Chains A and B, each alone.
Chain A
């Protein structure tokens, strides 16, 4: 039963922090209402009905009461607690990094089913330990796309000429690459990162997929060199577009 005062939805627990003595302020990424901050009353008490439900990365079904300032949790039922992720530091670091990206890139109370599904799929892949590195990269690329900042990899950002098939320097400030003729146009840029030819080939493929707007099942095999290269590019570009360093990166580097 849903009234104006309450709403029921599925969500993923992205973050939580202390709120008063025994309450938690939970950042919940819901399917129908986007990212919402919700107060879970007495959630820090051992006998609380919420304490296990509001653990990070849980997929939950929740009933939320609308409040004057902040909404509050009425009920919380665990759908999936992703126990494999939580019992492995490497998987956990990747899961938490994914959730921090969503916290930073997605606006509050803006439904975004595409990113909800992408995050859930990524967590499922981590849980089943299926193509973990590919899954992380595909998730980050989807996030960049939905945020409206997917870069240009096909043509020169300055003269619009097709780029040659070779390694190129990508600049976060201009969201693309300058061809050899325009290489001195943006000489003052300093967020450059070299992307290898194979990685650029993959990124062009993804750009075509995104532009076609057709449903796409990501199953591309990426070798270790390409994975490292793409991770390096994504880290620099995500930090630049988010205008901050992700806090969980330090731990991600420590355990991987």
Chain B
């Protein structure tokens, strides 16, 4: 045992939990001791499910979403609109859009955004793959749903510039006030965008 009072095996478990996003040293310790107290069967199930996810999960070769079948269920679903592709940065963005229930087209996951200051350029993302898709599929509209930070908007601008000559309709989700938000607390950038993008009722 070291000064922390944990055996090397327990300390290793704490360290492994500590690698997870949003888990600090205290939370890692709490999770580790909670697992130790749990019946062995539950721990085994957890370990097996982690291993099976790691073994069976692949990236869809069409949209690059995380999936266990290639192509994924979203790409093979014939009830979905095949002529619209929504471009997102991360698989979690896709899941958020799916949860909204307001979009029924295809997706394309870039796995990041252009971030010059961190050395991430277009070649590090699935942009080439998007263009290959657009060449081979009959697509009418591309929705650039990248995140609303400088890197996300730079990515959208870059793709937009490259797509400009293709004749495909390019759109972005509306920018502005969030539902339930008070006008007086909105910052000037958000308000500015909201006024620019105003629409008739």
Contacts and interface: CB of A to CB of B under 8 A. Distances in A.
Judge: A and B partners, yes or no. Answer: yes
B189 to A, nearest CB: 4
A103 B118 CA distance: 12
A89 B122 CA distance: 13
B143 interface: no
B118 A247 contact: yes
A78 B187 CA distance: 8
A55 B150 CA distance: 6
Interface residues of B, number: 25
B185 interface: yes
A231 B122 CA distance: 24
Contact of B121 (A78, A81, A250): A250
B116 A47 contact: no
Interface string A204-236: 000000000000000000000000000000000
State the majority secondary structure of interface residues on B. Answer: helix
A209 B114 CA distance: 39
B117 A254 contact: no
Contact of A46 (B122, B178, B188): B178
Contacts of B148: 51
A252 B117 CA distance: 10
Interface stretch (B52-60, B152-160, B163-171): B152-160
Contacts of B154: 86, 89, 92
Contacts of B102: none
A78 B188 contact: yes
Given A21-B21, A78-B188, A99-B117, A56 B150 contact: yes
Interface in A183-212: none
Nearest to B118: A247
B22 interface: yes
Contacts of A55: 149-150, 189
Interface in B88-126: 114, 116-119, 121-122
A47 B178 contact: yes
A255 B122 CA distance: 11
Nearest to B185: A49
B119 A250 contact: yes
A239 B150 CA distance: 25
A49 B151 CA distance: 19
B157 A247 contact: no
Given A57-B150, A89-B154, A250-B121, A97 B116 contact: yes
A20 B149 contact: no
A251 interface: yes
Contacts of A15: 117
Contact of B116 (A51, A52, A86, A248): A248
A91 B123 CA distance: 20
B73 interface: no
Contacts of A251: 114, 116, 121
A78 B157 CA distance: 23
A140 interface: no
Interface of B: 21-22, 114, 116-119, 121-122, 148-151, 153-154, 157-158, 161, 178, 181, 185, 187-190
22 contacts: A17-B118, A20-B22, A47-B181, A53-B187, A55-B149, A56-B149, A56-B151, A78-B187, A78-B189, A81-B188, A86-B150, A86-B153, A89-B158, A92-B154, A97-B116, A100-B117, A247-B116, A248-B117, A250-B116, A254-B121, A254-B122, A255-B158
